[in-house]
Amino acid sequence: MTLERTADVVVIGAGVQGCSIAYNLAKMGVKDVVVLEKGTICSGSTGRCGAGIRAQWGTEMNCRFGLAAVEKFEQLHEELGMDCGLNQSGYLMVAYKESEFDQLQKSMKLQNSLGIDTRVVSYSEAREICPGLAADDAVGFTFHNRDGHADPFLTTFAYMEAAKRLGVTFHRFTEVTDVKTVSGRIAGVVTNRGEIDAPVVVNAAGGYSQIIANMAGVRIPNFSERHEIIITEPVEPGVCPPMLMSFSGNYYIQQRPHGSIIGGCSPEGHPEDYEMGSSWDFLEMMSRTFIKLLPRTKGVRVVRQWSGLYNMTPDRQPILCEADNVKGFFLSCGYSGHGFMFGPISGELLTQLIIGQEPWIPIDMLHYSRFERGELLVEPAVV
């Protein structure tokens, strides 16, 4: 497929953010939307993520995003016409320290005030929710039953297919090598396959968004961090239906509906990295976490390990805005590990900003200028 010479909007990146933005733009009547992807659809961070969806957050911003995203996911298969693999078995948060449990309960009060029905559960109730669980060393648990997980591949493909039906064009194996600006306005992009002139360019490049921003002369403090993950062979359902998550325990583990169990954690030392390799140390450490937390998985086999990039910001909240110094250049990046779950809502909100509407959840505090002003929105609830 030859590359267009012009477009109304060029979206860089075909992960869940890029595909959701493209779909929402087309749905709102924007013509000539072109999505550029250097690999294949969903080959970056979205396709490598832990698949979780939650409204249990520690800041108002993330709670509102999380709840709105959960509500989107609940009807997404109908809207997009394709199954997205949604499984609402909840998130079971596990605290191993009193201070951690205090924080969970503080977050719960905030969540409850925003319409999120998180509650404290006892250990015996936690074991009913997650039959395989062994956590007698835990201090307390919170649970929200509308949290859960979805299939990142199917969700992204569902957005792409729906966007295509509305006339959006997708180009795979098309890498942006430069971003063109003329006197403080975006002018287009240069790729390995030619140039496209466009008055609006969206940076949804995930782990590479700081590189794209740099090309446009926009400085953002994002960096990319490699996170590893493992998956087991499928076993009978019901070992770990909810997402088990602990900040001090440093893990998230969930069982896909077809039986495989997925688990990951934060890397030690949080190295900046663009490599997506796999390490023996992680495999060994994560296996120990699995059998301590879910003893009945001892004889279950690991079939695969992989890694992906968290695009981190200093306060672990995203950048969702138009650039100050380059009009027409929009950013949706820095999700710090939560880009998949926020994709359905951030795509809608950024679309509203692009077409000149007021985003229905205010996003002005997600401008990257907050870092210069020192007005960070630090999110405590991140693994």
Partner 1 sequence: MSGRQEDIVICRCEEITLGEIREWIAKGYETFDELKRVLRVGMGPCQGRGCREMILREISAKTGAPMADIDPGTFRPPAKPVKLAVLAEGGDK
What residues between 329 and 358 interact with partner 1 by CB under 8 A?
Answer: none
Sign of CA dihedral 201, 156, 255, 228: negative
Query: How far is residue 17's CA from residue 37's CA, in Å, rounded to a whole number?
Result: 12
As to burial, measured by CB atoms within 10 angstroms (0-12 exposed, 13-18 middle, 19+ buried), residue 122 is exposed
Residue (208 or 282) nearer to partner 1, CB? 282
Length of the chain: 383
Residue (199 or 234) nearer to partner 1, CB? 234
Q: Does residue 257 belong to the site contacting partner 1 (CB under 8 A)? A: no
Q: Does residue 293 belong to the site contacting partner 1 (CB under 8 A)? A: no
What residues between 27 and 46 interact with partner 1 by CB under 8 A?
Answer: 40-43
Residue (270 or 304) nearer to partner 1, CB? 304
Give Rg (Cα) of the chain: 20
Task: Select from 11-19, 151-159, 267-275, 353-361 the region that touches partner 1 (CB under 8 A).
Answer: 151-159
- Minimum distance of partner 1 from residue 302's CB (angstroms): 6
Q: Does residue 297 belong to the site contacting partner 1 (CB under 8 A)? A: yes
- Minimum distance of partner 1 from residue 38's CB (angstroms): 14
Query: How far is residue 100's CA from residue 108's CA, in Å, rounded to a whole number?
Result: 12
Fill in the amino acid letter for 370: R
Q: Does residue 122 belong to the site contacting partner 1 (CB under 8 A)? A: no
Among 136, 137, 236, 284, binds partner 1 (CB under 8 A): 284
Among 2, 29, 124, 301, binds partner 1 (CB under 8 A): 301
Q: Does residue 264 belong to the site contacting partner 1 (CB under 8 A)? A: no
Residue 70's H or E segment, with its range, is helix 60-80
Tokens of 363: 């996003």
Q: Does residue 280 belong to the site contacting partner 1 (CB under 8 A)? A: yes
Among 29, 269, 299, 374, binds partner 1 (CB under 8 A): 299
Please answer whether residues 224 and 307 qualify as being in contact, where contact means their C-beta atoms are separated by less than 8 angstroms.
no
Please answer whether residues 41 and 245 qualify as being in contact, where contact means their C-beta atoms are separated by less than 8 angstroms.
no
- Minimum distance of partner 1 from residue 279's CB (angstroms): 9
Task: Select from 207-215, 231-239, 266-274, 323-331 the region that touches partner 1 (CB under 8 A).
Answer: 231-239
Query: How far is residue 227's CA from residue 205's CA, in Å, rounded to a whole number?
Result: 17
Among 127, 306, 355, 380, binds partner 1 (CB under 8 A): 306
- Minimum distance of partner 1 from residue 259's CB (angstroms): 10
Q: Does residue 232 belong to the site contacting partner 1 (CB under 8 A)? A: yes
Q: Does residue 192 belong to the site contacting partner 1 (CB under 8 A)? A: no
Q: Does residue 157 belong to the site contacting partner 1 (CB under 8 A)? A: yes
- Convert 126-142 into a string of H (helix), E (strand) and C (coil): HHHHCCCCCCCCCCEEE
Q: Does residue 302 belong to the site contacting partner 1 (CB under 8 A)? A: yes
Among 199, 221, 234, 257, binds partner 1 (CB under 8 A): 234
Query: How far is residue 104's CA from residue 140's CA, in Å, rounded to a whole number?
Result: 9
Query: How far is residue 139's CA from residue 238's CA, in Å, rounded to a whole number?
Result: 23
Please answer whether residues 339 and 15 qualify as being in contact, where contact means their C-beta atoms are separated by less than 8 angstroms.
yes
Residue (29 or 299) nearer to partner 1, CB? 299
Tokens of 39: 């690999």
Contacts for 201 with CB less than 8 Å, ≥ 6 apart: 9, 10, 11, 12, 179, 186, 188, 189, 216, 328, 329, 330
Q: Does residue 324 belong to the site contacting partner 1 (CB under 8 A)? A: no
DSSP class of residue 232? Answer: E
Q: Does residue 70 belong to the site contacting partner 1 (CB under 8 A)? A: no
- Minimum distance of partner 1 from residue 173's CB (angstroms): 9
- Minimum distance of partner 1 from residue 305's CB (angstroms): 6
Residue (88 or 278) nearer to partner 1, CB? 278
Buried b (16+ CB within 10 A) or exposed e, 245-277: bbbbbebbbbbbeeebbbbbbbbeeeeebeebe
Judged by the rule CB under 8 A, the positions of this chain that interact with partner 1 are: 40-43, 47, 153-154, 157, 232-234, 258, 278, 280, 283-284, 287-288, 290-291, 297-306
